[in-house]
Structure 1
Amino acid sequence: MTEMFDTRKDQAATWFRSLRDQIVAAFEALEDSQTTGPFADLPPGRFEVTETTRAEDGGGGIMSVMRGGRLFEKVGVNWSAVHGTLAPRAVAAMAARKDIPGMAEDPRFWASGISLVAHMRNPHTPAVHMNTRMFWTPHAWWFGGGSDLNPCIEVAEDTAFFHNVLKDHCDKHDTTYYPRFKEWADEYFYVPHRGRARGVGGIFYDDLCTGDWAKDFAFTQDVGRAFLPAFTGVTEKNRDATWTEADKEKQLIHRGLYAEYNLVYDRGTKFGLETGHNADAVLMSLPPEAKWT
């Protein structure tokens, strides 16, 4: 069993790394093709790549951040594969949402995934988040992930397009997945202290373990594959739209909402900090500028 899961861990980590490479290349190509607009005279943005390590135990990853591009104001695409022993606080947090017998006595873990957040120059081009991951312990394994769109100026046509791409990829695996995971996203990406969602949703799932590892991995791969067509479709439609100072003000205030959610509620942020991963990589999701009223 251990040898089998060692192979599966390698498969998953390799896939997440390859998805990271595809997205980085696609985003740099978008920068190259942005030849109009107020930032067209800038050099096309490029990712600064930094290897990351955990403070304790083992593993690490790659933090890739682009700042000040023609199209992207700030975007991070991170990949990691980490392992070690969960601290008591992390074990308690996991036990509060998932019953894993024996976890307290043997808190070893392994996790790998990709995490992405993009904040755009143009207020008409929505910010976006995506991640997919696999988590393993000696007692259980599961997949999680999803993606969601975060416009400061909502356009019903863009929301429908983004969701339809996600639905098409979900339906290939199980027609119940999209409605279930859309509802989960609506609940998860909600900001209680503001009484509103942080964006127009998408899909979100966690603890996915049907007992068929290959099936669950295949679905998680398609969640990753759905991202580029869903996001680039909306981006290419809106990236040359003109904007006003009032539009920019809306964007900065919406970024404040995004920052509040990630710092107060986001499960991935909490897990990354509690397990000693590189703090800069964990917090790369924060916008370059934000405002609060």
Structure 2
Amino acid sequence: MSTDMIDEKARAAAWFKSLRDSIVAAFEGLEDSHDTGPFSDQPAGRFDVSETKRTAEDGSDAGGGLMSVMRGGRVFEKVGVNISEVYGTLGERAQHAMAARKGIPGMKDDPRFWASGISLVAHMQNPHVPAVHMNTRMFWTPHAWWFGGGSDLNPCLEYDEDTAHFHHVQKRHLDPHGEDLYPRLKEWADDYFYIPHRKRARGVGGIFMDDRNSGDWEADFALTQDIGRAFLPAYLPLVEQRRTLAFGAAEKDAQLVHRGLYAEYNLVYDRGTKFGLETGHDANAVLMSLPPLAKWI
């Protein structure tokens, strides 16, 4: 049985905030530096930041976070970078789901929980630039703790060299934690980000883990940090290379159709979406991942 882990929780929450700050700064830097090509004549985008709140069933405060969203920029059509730190007691539905999926005993007797993490989804102006998702999180109950998350690339127009770069950077950051880790987390992402009713993957993959508890909190936290550190070097070069490419109606149409696929996955299958809504977190923050425009055929 775990302790309250007060120090560990504080360190994890502080890390997610620092990662958020570095990503927000880097993305606004991309907006400022985009001075040629499509959308370069628009004002540089900036994040709108608002606090989010989670309210417990009895109406009491149960944590919250920051929702940072940029819309209609030069490079980003819509991008959200959210952090949260929420706590309280799990409702009966969430208790049953947690106990069934993770095999955690005692949830009914002591349903307290704490969770903190970062969640990012970027939908781009230029269809040549891939959409991307990243999240990492720590979850605690009196009975167990674990880490989860990863990042994956979601292009509507695929470039083999972009996929190779994204995966290479992930591997480079994971190899110090064990050379068997990247292949396992890549396979996990391939399985997790699969859309059964479409019989296809959501994108070109990445890395993903859940229920990460090796028994060594420091080691698992270090791994989680390196998953976060891999994101910017894996993604920024792809944006910089593709954002000035010309495109037409066919490319934009392909982007909108692919966004429909993305929305289907997030609304039907994504565990984070389901958990956020079931536990009463701010619905706008939970659904931040949805694209501004999408199309179905």
TM-score range, shorter chain: over 0.9
- What is the match of residue 252 of structure 2? 248
CA distance in 2, matches of 1:39, 1:231: 20
CA distance in 2, matches of 1:164, 1:241: 24
- What is the match of residue 21 of structure 2? 21
- What is the match of residue 150 of structure 2? 146
Q: Over residues 137-168 of structure 1, what are the superposed CA-to-partner deviations in whole Å (9 max), with x where a residue is unaligned?
A: 00000000100000001111110000000000
CA distance in 2, matches of 1:104, 1:191: 32
CA distance in 1, matches of 2:231, 2:48: 22
Matched residue of 2:177: which SS? Answer: coil
CA distance in 1, matches of 2:253, 2:235: 23
Q: Over residues 201-258 of structure 1, what are the superposed CA-to-partner deviations in whole Å (9 max), with x where a residue is unaligned?
A: 0000000000000000000000000000001021111111111110000000000000
CA distance in 2, matches of 1:239, 1:149: 16
CA distance in 1, matches of 2:176, 2:239: 25
What's the CA shift for 1:55?
A: 2.3
Say whether residues 1:31 and 2:52 are aligned partners.
no
- In the alignment, is the contact (CA less than 8 A) between 2:38 and 2:126 conserved in 1? no
What's the CA shift for 1:9?
A: 0.2
Specify the code of the residue in structure 1 equivalent to 2:14: T
Specify the code of the residue in structure 2 equivalent to 1:22: S
Matched residue of 1:257: which SS? Answer: helix
- Considering only aligned residues, what root-mean-square deviation do their CA atoms show, in Å? 0.9
What's the CA shift for 1:38?
A: 2.8
Matched residue of 1:54: which SS? Answer: strand
CA distance in 2, matches of 1:98, 1:148: 23
Matched residue of 1:225: which SS? Answer: helix
Say whether residues 1:238 and 2:242 are aligned partners.
yes
Matched residue of 1:207: which SS? Answer: strand
Matched residue of 2:122: which SS? Answer: strand
CA distance in 1, matches of 2:191, 2:78: 27
- What is the match of residue 156 of structure 1? 160
- What is the match of residue 213 of structure 2? 209
What's the CA shift for 1:36?
A: 1.1
- What is the match of residue 101 of structure 1? 105
CA distance in 2, matches of 1:88, 1:126: 39
Segments of 4+ in structure 1 off by > 3 A?
A: none
Specify the code of the residue in structure 1 equivalent to 2:128: H
The residue correspondences of 1:165-184 to structure 2 (distance < 5 A) are 165-184=169-188
Unaligned runs of 5+ in 1: none
Q: Over residues 2-56 of structure 1, what are the superposed CA-to-partner deviations in whole Å (9 max), with x where a residue is unaligned?
A: 46x1000000000000000000000000000011123112110000000000021
CA distance in 1, matches of 2:140, 2:180: 25
CA distance in 2, matches of 1:81, 1:226: 22
- What is the match of residue 287 of structure 1? 291
- What is the match of residue 68 of structure 2? 64
- What is the match of residue 185 of structure 1? 189
- What is the match of residue 10 of structure 1? 10
Structure 1 length-normalised TM: 0.98
CA distance in 2, matches of 1:33, 1:8: 38
Percent identity reads: 72
- What is the match of residue 50 of structure 1? 50
What's the CA shift for 1:177?
A: 1.0
CA distance in 2, matches of 1:206, 1:104: 22
Q: Over residues 69-128 of structure 1, what are the superposed CA-to-partner deviations in whole Å (9 max), with x where a residue is unaligned?
A: 000000000000000000111111112211111112111000000000000001010000
